[in-house]
Amino acid sequence: MEDSTQRRSPDRAAEWFVPKFGPPKFRSFIGLLFLPYTAMVLSYVVIGSLAVATPAWTRVMALVIIYFLGLGVAAHALDALGSKAAKPWGKTFSRRQLWALAAASLAAAYTIAGYYMVRYVPWLLLLAVLEGFFVFAYNLEWFGGKFHTDGWFAFSWGFLPVLAGRVMQTNSMSAGAALLASAMALFSLIEIKASRPYKDLKKNRHCLTDSERQLMQRYETILKSISLGVILLAAGLLIQRLAD
């Protein structure tokens, strides 16, 4: 018989971004990546990279890969390990598998980043250290969860990726880039503010009142809109830059 913690733990396979097809392990892995939210962060990287006159496309692609590995895979694997909820993705992945996935992804991400830091962009080291700290401090809820807050989420996965895009291109920062990064951080803040209550409602979806169900659908619409809006913004800027 399940204990009360397991009964209260969210069924993440029911999330809107998890495919409804394929074997359970495939669905759980795609869900683990939180693809719409990961794509938001990758979009921030692109937006920051395009805030220069002549972006180096190989650097744009390299940084997108770095953030996909570091955030999309590693940070989310660590989040599954550090969550106070019982096994956020059920029993699909063992703790050993999640640790291995996180370690391999971070090793690959920092190998690529290290190449650029040594040869071209030493300022990237500062951002690599900061993001590395938040990968563990936020997702594993170190220091009593002091860094597992909405504000730090917006800073680490909204503000810093935009700056990283700028630094990767120019090995410098600017006031304009900081303002742009602040704007993207506010989008991330909206996302996390809507995500937390949505998740609470979603895990109790079988016993919601009509008004609670409508509220859950409203939060879901906000999450879909903010993620798609940021992705389309980055895509539009990218297409326009390529066409120029």
Per residue in 65-111, pLDDT tens?
Answer: 999 999 999 999 999 887 655 456 656 888 899 999 999 999 999 99
pLDDT surpassing 90 at residue 43: yes
What is the full DSSP assignment across 32-61? HTTHHHHHHHHHHHHHHHTSSSS--HHHHH
pLDDT at 163: 97
What's the topology of domain 4-243?
A: Farnesyl Diphosphate Synthase (1.10.600)
Maximum mean pLDDT: which of 4-8, 52-56, 167-171: 167-171
What is the distance between the alpha carbons of residues 236 and 244, in angstroms, rounded to a whole number? Answer: 12
Span 128-157, pLDDT tens digits: 999 999 999 999 999 988 999 999 999 999
pTM above 0.85, yes or no: yes
- In this structure, how many other beta carbons lie within 10 angstroms of the beta carbon of residue 217? 12
Burial class (CB in 10 A: 0-12, 13-18, 19+), 241: middle
Q: Categorise residue 11: left if φ over 0, alpha if ψ from -120 to 50, beta otherwise.
A: beta
- pLDDT above 90 as % of the chain: 70
